[in-house]
Amino acid sequence: MISSIKNKLILTLLLLCTSIIVITGTISIIVLDNFYENQIIDDLKIKTNEIKYFIGIPKGNNEDAYEQLQKLTKEGKYRLTLIDSVGNVIFDSDIQENELGKLDNHLLRSEIVQALESGVGVSKRFSNTIKNEMQYLALRIEPRLPLNSIFSKAYFIRISIPLNKIKFATNEVKSTIIILCSLAFLIIAVVTFIISGKITHPLKSMADIAIEIKKGSLDKRISYNSKDELGELATSINSMVDTMNEDIVQLKKLEKMRREFLGNVSHELRTPIFAIQGLLETLLNGALEDSDVRKDFVARALLNTKRLDTLLDELITISSIETGEMKMSFRYFNLQEFLSQSIFEMEPLAESFNVKLKLEKIDNNIEVYGDKEKLKQVVINLIQNGIKYNIPKGTVVISTMKEADQIKIIIKDSGVGISEEHISRIFERFYRIDKERSRDMGGTGLGLAIAKHIVEAHGNKLEVLSELQKGSKFSFTLQRSKI
Ligand code: ADP
């Protein structure tokens, strides 16, 4: 409990305030005591001077001077002692004249010693005579009183008052100070509780939400909009969770794609393997005897092994592209020669599909920059698709278009076309509009995904325009030499 920030804050603030209040209170009381003490000493000084004046008046026929002086001091509520130069008490307001002889010699009293030395002496101590804590002030009479004065022998005037009187006067002020200090402490304590609560409440809710987030509730956000440091912290935590959320969405998407890809791969691998297995089993179960069937089955099994080979090749290519391991080797090469060669290689396939391949006229001195082998794979794939998804007697036209320092390569077919809903997805791995048709033609659904990556590795985009039943137009640009 003590370890919570709120408690620490409260404890620290209260300790601090208590120390300040106690120190201030104590200092005030000490200052007050000193002030009163000084005030009393000043007061006593005035009184001693009054006494000095009184005892200095000529004796005349003033026979009861002792009594008169006693009366005077009684009114002033203080004790007066007159002491001669050798320390004998010659007057004491609290003692009758005939009792004076019983008193000790006063010459060694602290205030008298001081007064002898410097004229005035002050001391505070317990009086055995009065049985009380007393404040004393002694004054040395200099010059000496005239010989005819009433107390001509007096050398020291000493006045004292009980300290409890001073204490009584200051106690009231002291208790007011103590009450005020306690009140200040109470107010500070309440304010401390409120402020600590206000400061630590958002911290507590932030901590709670952070725990929730840690447990996986990424939809939780801290609602603290103040423009202070805590507000900044809340905003940072919220945006951190936002980013985490987005990252997790991304990761989940990637994970889903990975799972789908693995599912697709195993499915694609299984299809030709099962086909081969079926053919071989049928052969073993007797078809081997029939020479026509045997030849056909073996040919079909071979075709499936070729499909497996193509599939594995393309899988290796796509994984090397996606892991960034695909090495590119850029150089200039002749475009016309490159396209003619590609068309030449595709001629047998085109013939088998009864599709015409056509290369539009192109300058034979145009050099383009890129990885020739990989671009060949792109062009072959695009021509192959143009042939495969075409109609009998259809055409695939390969043309070029100069653009500033680039040249566009266009492969246009008169085939089945691609509808709007499929067009954005045909570049995805394994995406095939008509699975059966694609598979029948030895397609893997990876060709366009690979082609797109290769074109992008050249810093360009593989684009497509298509219209159902009319045909498709695939194009990409390459950097060309300036001739
Ligand atoms: P596949 O091995 O199936 O040809 P691709 O990645 O090359 O794989 O193409 C993906 C899909 O896009 C094809 O299955 C096909 O449905 C569609 N497609 C590609 N090229 C064309 C085209 N020229 N005309 C119509 N459809 C096409």
Whether residue 447 has its Cβ less than 6 Å from ligand 1? yes
Helix, strand, or coil (residue 216): coil
pLDDT band at 237 (very low <50, low <70, confident <90, very high): confident
Whether residue 416 has its Cβ less than 6 Å from ligand 1? yes
Report the run of H or E that residue 263 belongs to, with start and end. helix 229-284
Whether residue 385 has its Cβ less than 6 Å from ligand 1? yes
Q: Ligand 1 centre from 438 Cα, in Å? A: 7
Task: Kindly tell me the sign of the dihedral angle through the C-alpha atoms of 31, 33, 34, 39.
Answer: positive
Q: Which of 198, 213, 215, 272 is nearest to 442 (CA)?
A: 272
Categorise residue 230: left if φ over 0, alpha if ψ from -120 to 50, beta otherwise. Answer: alpha
Residues 462 and 468: beta-carbon distance below 8 Å: no
| Max Cα distance, the chain (Å) | 177
**pLDDT for residue 74 is more than 90:** no
- Minimal-distance CA residue to ligand 1 atom 21: 385
3-state secondary structure 293-327: HHHHHHHHHHHHHHHHHHHHHHHHHHHHHHCCCCC
Whether residue 394 has its Cβ less than 6 Å from ligand 1? no
- What whole-number distance in Å separates Cα of residue 355 and Cα of residue 395? 5
pLDDT band at 483 (very low <50, low <70, confident <90, very high): low
Q: Which atom of ligand 1 is nearest to the CA of 471?
A: 24
Q: Ligand 1 centre from 381 Cα, in Å? A: 9
Whether residue 475 has its Cβ less than 6 Å from ligand 1? no
What does pLDDT average to over the chain? 89
Report the run of H or E that residue 90 belongs to, with start and end. strand 89-92
Q: Ligand 1 centre from 348 Cα, in Å? A: 19
pTM: 0.57
pLDDT digits (tens, 9 = 90+) for 373-408: 999 999 999 999 999 999 999 999 999 999 889 999
pLDDT digits (tens, 9 = 90+) for 164-200: 766 776 788 888 888 998 998 899 889 988 888 888 8
- Minimal-distance CA residue to ligand 1 atom 19: 385
Helix, strand, or coil (residue 91): strand
Whether residue 81 has its Cβ less than 6 Å from ligand 1? no
